[in-house]
Each structure stands twice: as structure tokens, then as C-alpha cells.
């Protein structure tokens, strides 16, 4: 299996996690952490609605747990996979958590097109690449994956106003 095939498989899993988050009453976003061999170490859906925690985005919640379990040296070799491009807050959590690579299925601009003016997702127009570029350590970003956009978007169908 080549890297692209591995990325697609792990992104599909993050999309399944996003669907589970929605089914649990949260917004439809999912993330997972994988090691250099592609083994899934952690999975996390959004929990902001059910916990009442505005920082309960999938990626931020995943990073909170990952930073407790793994040393920064390990995290630099890991990749975070997300159903949708991480928002500015989540990109900050990823940056401070020292994850070395971010891979995402659907771009934030595509998400903005789906959510429109819904007050539950008035996200900043700030691509994660721009957040990472403002930092002083490298974070590799891979995405979006056009062949997965429809799958990632399907988790959002009928959710946003």
C-alpha cells in the first residue's frame, strides 16, 4: 500500500468518526491520530455540544488526550487525520502538541459552503497552512483530497441550516 492509499483509508475512518459524533448529538467532525506505520492510536469526534465545551472540537480534544499519553518526540512522528481541515483553534492545538503531519479530507472553504451562515459554525477563514506557517516549527499538511470531498460532505447533509 502506498502513502496515498494509506491516507485515504485513514481519512475514511475519520469520516466514520465524524458520523458517529453526529449520531451522538455533536457536530459532524472526526479526527484520529496514527503512528508512522499508519496504526490508529486515538480517535475523537466533536464533543462540544454534549459537553458544553466550546473547545470540544475533534482535533483539539484529540490533542488534549494525545499530549497526556505521548511524548512530544513521539508526536512529531505521528499524523493527525481529520474529516475536515482543522480550524484555527485546532491548528493551534496541533501546533502546540507537536504533531508532525496533518492530513485532511475536505477543505475549510468547502465546509463554509455547506454551513453557510449557520451560527454553529461561523469559522474563521484561516487555512491551517497559514496558522502553521506563522509558527517556528514545521508541520506538514496534506490535503484536501478531492476524491473524498463528497464522502466528508455527506456527514454534514441536513445538519446545517
**Residue numbers annotated as active site:** 59
User: Which helix or strand (DSSP H or E) is residue 104 part of?
Assistant: strand 101-106
> From CA 142, how far away is CA 105, in angstroms rounded?
9
- CA distances (Å), 34 to each of 7, 117, 118, in order? 10, 33, 32
Which residue reads 449557520 in cell numbers?
Answer: 118
Contacts of residue 15, defined as CB under 8 A and 6 or more positions apart, other chains included, come to: 30, 83, 105, 148, 151, 152, 155
In the chain, count H helices and then E strands. 8, 5
- CA distances (Å), 132 to each of 38, 74, 98, 123, in order? 23, 19, 11, 17
Amino acid at each position: 500500500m502506498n502513502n496515498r492509499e494509506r491516507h485515504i483509508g485513514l481519512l475514511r475512518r475519520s469520516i466514520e468518526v465524524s458520523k458517529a459524533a453526529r449520531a451522538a448529538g455533536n457536530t459532524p467532525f472526526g479526527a484520529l491520530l496514527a503512528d508512522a506505520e499508519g496504526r490508529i492510536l486515538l480517535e475523537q469526534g466533536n464533543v462540544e455540544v454534549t459537553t458544553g465545551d466550546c473547545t470540544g472540537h475533534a482535533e483539539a480534544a484529540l490533542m488534549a488526550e494525545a499530549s497526556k499519553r505521548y511524548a512530544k518526540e513521539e508526536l512529531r512522528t505521528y499524523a493527525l487525520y481529520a474529516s475536515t481541515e482543522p480550524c484555527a483553534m485546532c491548528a493551534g492545538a496541533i501546533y502546540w502538541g507537536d504533531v508532525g503531519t496533518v492530513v485532511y479530507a475536505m477543505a475549510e472553504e468547502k465546509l463554509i459552503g455547506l454551513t453557510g451562515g449557520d451560527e454553529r459554525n461561523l469559522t474563521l477563514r484561516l487555512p491551517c497552512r497559514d496558522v502553521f506557517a506563522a509558527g517556528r516549527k514545521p508541520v506538514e499538511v496534506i490535503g484536501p483530497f478531492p476524491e473524498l470531498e463528497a464522502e466528508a460532505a455527506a456527514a454534514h447533509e441536513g445538519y446545517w441550516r
